Amino acid sequence: MVSKPNIDIALVSRLIATQFPRWKELAVRPVEFGGWDNRTFHLGDEMTVRLPSAAAYSLQVEKEHRWLPRLAPLLPLPIPVPLAMGVPAESYPWHWSVYRWIEGETAERERIASLPRFATDLAAFLVALQRIDATGGPAPGQHNFFRGGALSVYDGETRQAIAALDGKIDTVAARAVWEAALAAPWHGAPVWFHGDVSCGNLLVRQGRLGAVIDFGTSGVGDPACDLAIAWTLFEGKSREAFRAGLPADEAMWARGRGWTLWKALITVAG
C-alpha cells in the first residue's frame, strides 16, 4: 500500500531540482486555495506545480497532458496547458505536472460584474467544448469518478445519504428530484464535458469570466454534470441566461439537478 506523501514546499523543491533542474532556482510557494484533490504551488511567477494528493487523482495527470493541448486552441477562454510531466520518485509515488500560471480570482459573486453575462459566457464556453470532436476521448470511469456517465452509478450512495438526512432535509423532495433524474437517461452521442464546473474552477478577470481551470474530471459522455453551477452559483435571471445559452432540454436539466443533488447530499451527509 502506498503511503500518503506529505506534499509541501520542501518536497516540491526536491522534485523540481532533480527532474527539472533548469527551474531549480525558481521560488516555490503554495497557491492560495490550492485545492484538495491536487496540491498546487507557484513555481516562480509564471508557472505552477500540481501534484495529486491521492492515488485516485493520479489517473488524471496523463489524461490532461494528452488532451488539454488539443482542446485549448479550440476554446474561447484560456484553460491550463501542461508544460512538463514529472515522474514518480522515492519521495512521491505518482506522476505530476508543471503548468503555466493563469491569472484570475475564483468566481465569488462579489467579484462578478454581471451574473447574467457571466452565465452567458460560461454557457458559450461549454457549448464550444461540447462541439470539439470527441473521437477517442476518455469515457467516464475511475479517472473521473464516472462524471458524464449514468447517474445510476450513484443511486445507492444517494439513497443512503437521503435516508441518513431524514429529519434534516425534505426527503420527499430529494427523492423526487433524484427519481426524475434517473428517469431521464442520456441518449445522445458522447461530447466533451468539464466534469467539475464550480466557483473554484472559474476564474474572474475584471468582473468577467476569464478562464476555466482543473480538467481532472473531464471526459466525453453526458454533459449534464456541467450544469450543477446553475444551482450553486446562478439564480433567477442568471440561471435563465445560462440555460438559454445551452442545448439543454428538460431531460438534461433534470439530470443536471440530479448531479447537483448527489454532490450536495454526500457533502452534507459526510
Last residue of a domain, one of 69, 100, 131: 100
pLDDT at 2: 54
Same domain, 66 and 136: no
Residue 196 lies in a domain: yes
Same domain, 125 and 234: yes
Name the amino acid, one letter, at 124: A
Last residue of a domain, one of 83, 100, 117: 100
* HEC per residue, 32-44: CCCCCCEEEEEEC
Same domain, 31 and 151: no
Q: 55-84 pLDDT, tens per residue?
A: 999 999 999 999 999 999 999 999 999 999
Residue 2 lies in a domain: no
Residue 264 predicted with pLDDT over 90 = yes
Last residue of a domain, one of 100, 122, 140: 100
The residue segments making up the domain with residue 32 are 9-100
Same domain, 136 and 83: no
Q: Structure pTM?
A: 0.96
- Residue 52 makes CB contacts below 8 A (sequence gap 6+) with 37, 38, 58, 60, 61, 94, 95, 96
* CA 105 – CA 33 distance, rounded (Å): 10
Q: 179-230 pLDDT, tens per residue?
A: 999 999 999 999 999 999 999 999 999 999 999 999 999 999 999 999 999 9
CA neighbours closer than 13 Å in the CB half-sphere of residue 65: 14
Residue 178 predicted with pLDDT over 80 = yes
